[in-house]
Amino acid sequence: MPPGLRKAALAVHLTCSVGWIGGVIAYLVLGVLAVTATDDVTIRASWVAMEAIGWHAIVPLAVASWGTGILMGFGTRWGLFRHYWVSISLILTSVALAVLLLHMPDVSATVKVARTLSGDELAALGGDLAHPTVGLAVLLVVQVLNIYKPRGLTRYGHDRQ
Any idea where the domains of the chain sit in the sequence?
3-160
Q: In the predicted model, is pLDDT for residue 113 greater than 70? A: yes
Look at residue 82 and tell me whether its pLDDT is greater than 90: no
User: Residue 58's pLDDT is what?
Assistant: 98
Let me know how many helices (H) and strands (E) the chain has, helices first: 7, 0
| C-beta of residue 88 within 8 angstroms of C-beta of residue 105 | no
Angle subtended by helix axes 59-75 and 84-114, to nearest 10: 170
Half-sphere exposure of 155 (CA within 13 A, CB side): 0
| DSSP result, 49-112 | HHHHHIIIIIHHHHHHHHHHHHHHHHHSTTTTTSBHHHHHHHHHHHHHHHHHHHHHHHHHHHHH
Confidence category of residue 158, pLDDT binned at 50, 70, 90: low
How many CB atoms are located within 10 Å of the residue 86 CB? 22
Do the beta carbons of residue 80 and residue 86 sit within 8 Å? Answer: yes
The number of beta carbons lying within 10 Å of the beta carbon of residue 136 is 17
The percentage of the chain sitting over the pLDDT mark of 90, rounded to a whole number, equals 77
Q: What is the CA radius of gyration of the chain?
A: 19
What number is the average pLDDT over the span 90-107? Answer: 98
Q: Which residues pair with 90 in a beta bridge?
A: none
Q: Rounded CA gap, 131 and 41, in Å?
A: 23
138-141-142 Cα angle (round to 5): 90
- pTM equals 0.91
User: Please, are residues 9 and 79 in contact by the beta-carbon 8 Å criterion?
Assistant: no
